[in-house]
Amino acid sequence: MAEEKLVKRSEDYSKWYNQVILRTEMADYAPVRGCMVVRPYGWALWENIRSALDQRFKATGHVNAAFPLFIPMSFMEKEKEHVEGFSPELAVVTHGGGQKLEEPLVVRPTSETVIGYMYAKWIKSYRDLPVLINQWANVVRWEMRTRLFLRTMEFFWQEGHTAHATAEEGEEETLRILDVYTDFAVNEAAVPVIPGRKSDTEKFAGAVRSYTIEAMMGDTKALQSGTSHNLGQNFARAFDIQYLDDTNQLQHAWTTSWGLSTRFIGAIIMTHGDDQGLIFPPRLAPIQIVIVPIYRNDEQKATVMPVVQQLGEELSSFRVKIDDRDKVTPGFKYNHWELRGVPLRIEVGPRDVEKNSVMTSRRDQPGKPGKKILPMENLAAQIGELLNEIQASLLERATAFRDDHIHEADDYDSLKEVVQDGWAFSWWCGDAACEAAVKADTRATIRCIPLEQPDGSGKCVYCGKPAEEKVYFAKAY
């Protein structure tokens, strides 16, 4: 039975998204509602994301550790705003070993509480600060509406948790990580994000300030792609994280937390994918190059395959795959790897061997525009340049798409029209009532208050009162 054709993004974006994930074997639905199985191809992408971020964290002085999956319920209740924000999403264990537990345990939705408890044990003096710890983990949040990678009950992420001696150091750390996330998104994933501050309504439960990187997907909806939170002294007071300063005075620490999850895989899929399937940025692609040998008989195979094997060895510094399947045609292989988003295909046939060259085909430029003949001599350097070109092209294309769908909206009628198929950049007075009214009326929320602000001031797009900041309103995942 023939597989159903991949739906066009313009016809049904949501169906295209789910189809492409399942067809490319990125993930599958688990037997538990709302959970997913990340398959090897999807996990390979996550490993590359993890590696790129981990290098950045360690370069800024952070170290990795691991904290428990189970958290005492009493911990969650210590920070009032935190427990109110998370209580609808908690998975709670009441029995273990066949007996009712004395205290229910929460399956980790995030780790501020248990890490705060441990920091209170470890931090005694200003000499113990700063503490800069990250963990790679899975978390559980009881989501009602789920979608592969974007919103699942269990997902994978990194969560950083730091403690500092001053408010200034805490804010500096929060913004440093925002810069790390921005650099990763733009330079590794070719996803042009906008860094900014969340409104008080949208900030993390228990934070003083939350910062975010917001990305525009291929259907113009926004995706919150990574967050960094300045927790002030809220959790330090709740968990008694205190230290003696250099004047021998007892002080509460200033803490931060920050995270980026497998949701970012969804960001990559929806930012770059097209009607043929996935398109992966070369720096993160599980497979950067696929080599397809072309032959019609055993004689041609004997000519082509040794050259293909040699090319595989020469290009071993890249993530390369040789598709030497005998039972399928070259055309089938082309479609197979185009669907899976491999950035570059190399074709080698008898004529290529004879001419000492290869045919390359770029995934970001389907058809003839993306084809190029390269001499085999010094091929690795040429391929490296080509992959860099693809990486830059994807970023340029995604940035142009985003900018084409962001519009200034100086009055409310304009905002309502813009957010139907884009982002509105508008003045906002800072009143949560205006924010709530826009959301109720249009389903658009304030995605962020960008760090880069225009000069001057204006009038709130909703109420007309004086406004000092411009924000992005958009519908979001």
Band of the pLDDT at 83, cuts 50, 70, 90?
Answer: low
Establish if 92 belongs to a structural domain: yes
Cα 16 to chain centroid, rounded: 19
Residues 459 and 357 in one domain: no
Q: Is the pLDDT of residue 340 over 60?
A: yes
Quote the CA–CA distance of 477 and 200 in Å, as a whole number. 19
- The enclosing H or E element of 415 equals helix 412-418
Helix, strand, or coil (residue 247): coil
Domain boundary among 238, 272, 306: 272
pLDDT tens-digit readout, 414-473: 999 999 999 999 999 999 999 999 999 999 999 999 999 999 999 999 999 999 999 999
Residues 255 and 323 in one domain: no
pLDDT tens-digit readout, 242-269: 999 999 999 999 999 999 999 999 999 9
Establish if 329 belongs to a structural domain: yes
Residues 308 and 419 in one domain: no
Query: Strand pairing partners for 467?
Result: 458
Question: What pLDDT, on a 0 to 100 scale, did the predictor assign at position 1?
Answer: 46
Quote the CA–CA distance of 335 and 11 in Å, as a whole number. 21
DSSP 142: -
Residues 83 and 172 in one domain: yes
The pLDDT of 366-395, averaged and rounded, is: 96
| Sequence-separated (6 or more) residues with CB below 8 Å from residue 117 | 75, 239
Establish if 395 belongs to a structural domain: no
Residues 224 and 129 in one domain: yes
Cα 36 to chain centroid, rounded: 17
Q: What is the 3-state secondary structure (H, E, C) of 68-103?
A: CCEEEHHHHCCCHHHHHHHHHHCCEEEEECCEEEEE
pLDDT tens-digit readout, 13-56: 999 999 999 999 999 999 999 999 999 999 999 999 999 999 99
Question: What pLDDT, on a 0 to 100 scale, did the predictor assign at position 79?
Answer: 75
Residues 362 and 451 in one domain: no
Residues 266 and 293 in one domain: no
- The enclosing H or E element of 300 equals helix 298-314
Establish if 138 belongs to a structural domain: yes
Higher pLDDT, 474 or 87: 474
Question: What pLDDT, on a 0 to 100 scale, did the predictor assign at position 473?
Answer: 98
Residues 366 and 411 in one domain: no
DSSP 302-362: HHHHHHHHHHHHHTTTS-EEE---SSS-HHHHHHHHHHTT-SEEEEE-HHHHHHTEEEEEE
Locate tokens 């931060």: which residue?
Answer: 256
Q: One-letter amino acid identity for 415?
A: L
Task: Choose the weakest-confidence range: 73-87, 177-191, 201-215, 389-403.
Answer: 73-87
Answer positive or negative: Cα dihedral of 363, 27, 134, 452.
positive
The region, left, alpha or beta by phi > 0 then psi within -120 to 50, assigned to residue 84 is alpha
Band of the pLDDT at 175, cuts 50, 70, 90?
Answer: very high
Helix, strand, or coil (residue 4): coil
DSSP 394-408: HHHHHHHHHHHTEEE
Q: What is the CATH number of the domain that holds 324?
A: 3.40.50.800
Cα-Cα-Cα-Cα dihedral of 405, 436, 84, 205, to 10°? 40
DSSP 10: T
Residues 143 and 231 in one domain: yes
Give the range of the structural domain holding residue 135, as residue numbers without chain letter: 13-272
Residues 245 and 325 in one domain: no
Question: What pLDDT, on a 0 to 100 scale, did the predictor assign at position 440?
Answer: 98
Read off φ and ψ for residue 220, nearest 5 degrees: 75, 0
Domain boundary among 386, 418, 437: 386
Establish if 48 belongs to a structural domain: yes
Q: What is the CA radius of gyration of the chain?
A: 25
- 264 CB neighbour count, 10 Å cutoff: 27
Establish if 277 belongs to a structural domain: no
Residues 253 and 330 in one domain: no
Q: How far is the CA of 244 from the CAs of 121, 132, 159, 252, 457, in angstroms? A: 13, 19, 27, 9, 44
**Edge to edge, what strands does the sheet with 371-375 contain?**
320-322, 289-293, 344-348, 357-362, 371-375
Count structural domains, the chain: 3
Band of the pLDDT at 3, cuts 50, 70, 90?
Answer: low
Residues 235 and 314 in one domain: no
DSSP 2: P
Query: Strand pairing partners for 140?
Result: 154
Band of the pLDDT at 87, cuts 50, 70, 90?
Answer: confident
The pLDDT of 283-294, averaged and rounded, is: 98
Q: What is the CATH number of the domain that holds 132?
A: 3.30.930.10
Quote the CA–CA distance of 176 and 194 in Å, as a whole number. 15
The pLDDT of 76-84, averaged and rounded, is: 76
